[in-house]
Structure 1
Amino acid sequence: MKSLLLVYHSQSGASAELARACAAAAGTVTGVQLQVLRAWDAGSRELLAADGLLLVAAENSGALSGTMKDFLDRTFYPVGARGPVLPYALLLSAGNDGRGARRQAETILSGYPMKRALETVICRGEVTASHRQRAAELGEAFATGLDMGIF
């Protein structure tokens, strides 16, 4: 069985709502064990035990939220030194256009032993039914890809 770690940060509640939609859909894939943690609660141990990483974060002031950046900063050296190449996917809740947050996250993640498995999804503005659907599709697609050995 594959292990998928979903790490999220939410201050306003929007990213948490998207993370719930993502997790609900990923959790339907029977060959994948899902672990959902807030960014403050996740660390190198959980990341090193995972077969894939799904990040759900907010854009703050045109950049990646500080708490998600903190998670990436705390795990960078321990995981980079010992970790296998992990597939990852990124979902952003953006009040602006999200490009700055995506660029920052993808730059940081390029230094890890990770590879992007799916295109980054940016949900702009207030969370809508369409955003929840996109989050669910990302979660299910990523979990299915892990289960099938595609990523």
Structure 2
Amino acid sequence: MRQLTVIAHAPSSNLSALARVLQEGAAQADISVSVLSPLEADANAALNADALILLTPENLGYMSGAMKDWFDRIYYPCLDHTQGKPIAAVVRAGHDGTGTQQALKTITTGLRWRWVQPVLLLRGDWQADFIQQAQQLGEAMGYALEQGMI
């Protein structure tokens, strides 16, 4: 069974809800889905996944420190073994989110991972439709992985 791993830094109830619906959406497909905190995940999370979804808040115009720490720890162990890895990301941004988006793209370009969905930027004050948008992204990734499209 194909494996989708969500690396989710979810220190708030809203981010936890986003992580949950990413998992629920993806699990509608016939795949295995796991959600890991970047603090508990290691290189095996990326090495063993067929695709990844990254979830991070925007902190001071950048990804969370926990997500950056994960990238620091997995970069070299994954560099030559995960090229072409299909990925998507959700950025929960109280402001603009473009700095976080650019940082994710810079690091993942270095890893030679492959973006299969645009970064989902959830900007500004919390909105109820953020849940639906995240669930739809999870569904799209799950079904694409199940069907061998990614």
TM-score band, normalised by shorter chain? over 0.9
CA contact (8 A) 2:4 2:142 kept: yes
Q: TM-score, normalised by structure 1?
A: 0.94
Q: Partners in 2 of 1:37 and 1:126 — Cα distance?
A: 26
Which residue identity is paired with 1:50? A
Cα offset for 1:129? 1.9
After TM superposition, list the pairs within 5 Å mapping 1:72-83 onto structure 2. 72-83=71-82
Aligned to 1:45: 44
Cα-to-partner distance string for 1:115-137 (whole Å, 9 max, x where unaligned):
00101101113432210000000
CA contact (8 A) 1:89 1:119 kept: yes
Q: Partners in 1 of 2:119 and 2:70 — Cα distance?
A: 18
- Count of residues in Structure 1 that have an aligned counterpart in Structure 2: 150
Aligned to 1:128: 127
The 3-state SS of whatever aligns with 1:6 is: strand
Distance 1:110 1:84, change over 3 A: closer
Which residue identity is paired with 1:27? A
Cα offset for 1:84? 4.2
Aligned to 1:88: 87
* 1:12 maps to 2:24: no
| Unmatched 5+ stretches in structure 2 | none
CA contact (8 A) 2:7 2:35 kept: yes
Cα offset for 1:81? 2.5
Aligned to 2:21: 21
Q: TM-score, normalised by structure 2?
A: 0.95
Q: Partners in 2 of 1:82 and 1:25 — Cα distance?
A: 28
Percent of pairs with identical residues: 33
Cα-to-partner distance string for 1:98-129 (whole Å, 9 max, x where unaligned):
11100011111101131001011011134322
Which residue identity is paired with 1:99? T
Aligned to 1:35: 34
Aligned to 1:105: 104
Choose between structure 1 and 2: higher strand proportion. 1
CA contact (8 A) 2:38 2:67 kept: yes
Q: Partners in 2 of 1:36 and 1:126 — Cα distance?
A: 25
Query: Alpha carbon RMSD of aligned pairs, Å?
Result: 1.2
| Unmatched 5+ stretches in structure 1 | none
The 3-state SS of whatever aligns with 1:123 is: strand
CA contact (8 A) 2:83 2:111 kept: no
